Amino acid sequence: MIRVKNLYKSFDGRIVLDDISVEFESGKTNLIIGQSGSGKTVLLKCIVGLHEIDKGEIWYEDILFNKLDFTSKKEIRKEMGMLFQGSALFDSLTVEQNVRFPLDMFSDKSPEEKTDRVNFCLNRVNILNANNLFPSELSGGMRKRVAIARAISLNPKYLFCDEPNSGLDPITAILIDALIKELTEEYSMTTIVNTHDMNSVMENGEKILFISDGVKCWEGNKNEILNSDCEKLNDFVFANSLAKKLRSLR
Amino acid sequence: MIKFLTYMGRYVMLLQKVFSKPEKPSMYYKQTIRELMYLGFNSVAIIAIISFFMGAVVALQTVYNTENPLYPKYLVGLGTRDSMILEFSCSVAALILAGKVGSSIASEIGTMRVTEQIDALEIMGVNSASYLILPKLIATVIFNPFLTLISIIVGIFGGFLASTVFGTMTPEDYIYGIQYAFIPFYIIYSLVKTLVFAFIITTVSAFQGYYVSGGSLEVGRASTKAVVFSCLLILLFNVIITQLMLS
């Protein structure tokens, strides 16, 4: 479980996150939704410690993460996996070397065991016969799946995904969403996904946090989101013309 | 002034991260070997070519400026040798390497920053500064002295060919000149400068790349800044080291 309490973050005096408090549950796909520029990515990067927060608390189980020193944070980070918006695969390494990297760095497994684990992770995300390809030779969807394989190679307790289906076609986006949900349930991870894709929200939204202009506006799940009183959330959810028509029919 | 102090503070903090204990030394070793190939061996050809022509030009200029019969011919060999050892093979070569290696380091690390690859390393619990910069630093500090020695040898050979083929002197005069009044300390002086310059090129360029933010335009700017600042610092430290070691 990850708990965020009264989190504030600003850049050069401009407040980006204003008093955010939320609890992300284990074994569930937790979503952070909001418009572009609402502060989703900053919130996610604050939670994983890539941005220093101005005020507030971030708890991983019973550990106050934001007060830890660099070395202690590194220990928690070994339990994290993250899928970045642009995949962030290492350009100079092949697919296999990318997935193997965390294992080489942090595990004491034998080379054969590492190879087995790499192949298992790649099979799990349906990447076959691509071990020796470089990231530049992969499609966007394949890159995301390799990035997921790398993120789960060390069996993380926490999985973070920053807009996992941005730039993907609708079918591939659905596959990626389904994969994240399956992996979350399979390994009982605490998964936090940043998205503004309503299909992801309706498929995976077991816990949803909606933020607008850095402020928490609404919290709930996919069953409650369509019946919310929050005006900003309704503007976001029913933004496209089809959704507007459906809403008017209700 | 505040901006300068902020830069210096960030630079020192980055170096502190770079020199912290590696997570897994074997991974750093592999990375160092890769950097030795990439930053070291790949620079041999350019250094050899430039040194050859520098030595040739120095020798020819010395020939044409010492045509007075009162000057002994062997001065050409002596002048070429000392010019290569004292200045050209360490300082001028360092300026060339600042362009080649410095821009490569800054753009590689800068691209990793803007494409979130550095964030990915951090999330895994890897000390990204150390993992990315320390192997490059070790590689350049180990290999650049060899580049300097290669440059000295090739430069003196270039001078030999130019002065004997185009000049008016005999090979014996040139060879006598390069052996005449040799001071071994000059080699030490040259290698000390090379080590300091290797440190400057690698750390300043890595610093520019590591803290880049934005997109490809900023990576390009960081690469340019890396070359400019490295060159300025090389020139400054050239004066300081010369004053300290030769005065």
Q: Residue B214 domain-assigned? A: yes
Residues of chain A with C-beta less than 8 angstroms from the C-beta of B216: none
Compute the radius of gyration of chain B from its Cα atoms. 21
Let me know if residue A130 belongs to a domain: no
Contact between B117 and A48 using a beta-carbon 8 Å cutoff: no
Q: Quickly list H helices, chain B.
A: 2-18, 25-35, 44-65, 75-83, 93-97, 103-114, 117-124, 128-165, 171-179, 185-210, 216-246
> Per-residue pLDDT averaged across A13-32, rounded?
91
* Residues B81/B177, Cβ–Cβ less than 8 Å: yes
- Determine the pLDDT at residue A32: 93
Nearest Cα residue to B139 out of B203, B90, B87: B203
Which residues of A are less than 8 Å from B124 in CB distance?
77-78, 80, 101-102, 105-106
Of the two residues B111 and A1, the one the predictor is more confident about is B111
Q: Which two tokens stand for residue A204?
A: 């995976």
Q: Is residue B44 less than 8 Å (CB to CB) from chain A? A: no
**Is B22 exposed, middle or buried, given 0-12, 13-18 or 19+ CB atoms closer than 10 A?**
middle
Read off the pLDDT of residues B22-45 as tens digits, 9 standing for 90 and up: 888 999 999 999 999 999 999 999
How far apart CA A47 and CA B227 sit, in angstroms, is: 36
Assigned domain for B197 exists: yes
- Strand order from edge to edge, sheet including A190-195: A63-64, A55-60, A2-11, A14-24, A215-220, A207-212, A29-33, A190-195, A158-162, A80-83
Residue with tokens 């973070």: A160
Residue B6 within any structural domain of the chain: no
Count of Cβ atoms closer than 10 Å to residue B84 Cβ = 31
Q: How confident is the model at residue B167 (pLDDT cuts 50, 70, 90)?
A: low
Q: How far is B67 from chain A (nearest CA, A)?
A: 56
Kindly compute the dihedral angle of the four CA atoms of residues A182, A183, A187, A191, in this order, to the nearest 10 degrees: -100
Q: Quote the number of domains for chain B.
A: 1
- Is A64 domain-assigned? yes
pLDDT surpasses 80 at A248: no
> What pLDDT does B53 receive?
96
Q: What's the gap between Cα B112 and its chain centre? A: 24
The distance of Cα A228 from the centroid of its chain, to the nearest Å, equals 24
- Mean pLDDT, rounded, for B146-155: 97
Query: Can you list the positions of beta strands (E) in chain A?
Result: 2-11, 14-24, 29-33, 55-60, 63-64, 80-83, 158-162, 190-195, 207-212, 215-220
Residue B127 touches chain A, beta carbons under 8 Å = yes
The ipTM value here is 0.87
Instruction: Report yes or no: B123 at the A interface, CB cutoff 8 Å.
Output: yes
Please give the backbone phi and psi of residue A111, each rounded to the nearest 5 degrees, phi first: -55, -35
Task: Select from B101, B85, B98 the least CA-distant residue to B191.
Answer: B85
Whether the Cβ atoms of residue A183 and residue A106 lie closer than 8 Å to each other: no
Beta bridge partners of A82: A160
**For A95-140, what is each residue's pLDDT tens digit?**
999 999 999 998 889 999 999 999 999 998 888 889 999 999 999 8
pLDDT tens-digit map of A76-96 = 888 899 999 888 999 999 999
> Residue A203 pLDDT > 70, yes or no?
yes
Segments of A129-226 assigned E as strands: 158-162, 190-195, 207-212, 215-220
In chain A, % helix, strand, coil (3-state, to 5) comes to 40, 25, 35
**How many domains does the structure of chain A reveal?**
1
**Residue B223 domain-assigned?**
yes
pLDDT digits (tens, 9 = 90+) for B74-123: 999 999 999 999 999 999 999 999 999 999 999 999 999 999 999 999 99
What percentage of chain B has pLDDT greater than the value 90? 85
In a domain, A111, yes or no: no
**Is A15 a member of any domain?**
yes
Global pTM exceeds 0.90: no
Tell me which DSSP letter residue A21 carries: E
Tokens of B111: 């691209």
* Residue B184 is assigned to a structural domain of this protein: yes
In a domain? residue B57: yes
Residues of chain A in contact with residue B126, where contact means CB-CB under 8 angstroms, are 105
Among A23, A178, A85, residue whose Cα is nearest residue B115: A85
- Strands (DSSP E) contained in A140-231 are 158-162, 190-195, 207-212, 215-220
- What is the residue range of B123's domain? 24-246
CATH code for the domain in which residue A197 is found:
3.40.50.300
Average pLDDT of span A40-49 = 93
Q: Cα A87 from chain centroid?
A: 11
**A111 close contact with B: CB closer than 8 A:** no
- Find out whether A219 and A22 touch, Cβ atoms under 8 Å: yes
Evaluate whether residue B11 is within a structural domain: no
* Structure confidence at residue B203 (pLDDT): 97
pLDDT digits (tens, 9 = 90+) for B200-235: 999 999 999 999 998 899 999 999 999 999 999 999
Chain A residues inside the 8 Å CB shell of B23: 74, 105-106
Cβ-nearest to A77 among B27, B117, B123: B123
Under 8 Å between Cβ of B23 and B127: yes
Q: A225 is in which domain, residue-wise? A: 1-79+190-250
What values do phi and psi take at A63, rounded to 5? -110, 125
Nearest Cα residue to A162 out of A174, A149, A147: A147
| Alpha carbon separation from A117 to A111, A114, A123, A149 (Å, rounded) | 10, 5, 10, 10
* B184 touches A at CB < 8 Å: no
Kindly state whether residue A84 falls inside one of the protein's structural domains. no
Which range has highest mean pLDDT (A66-80, A167-181, B187-201)? B187-201
Which residue would you say has higher pLDDT here, A52 or A239? Answer: A52
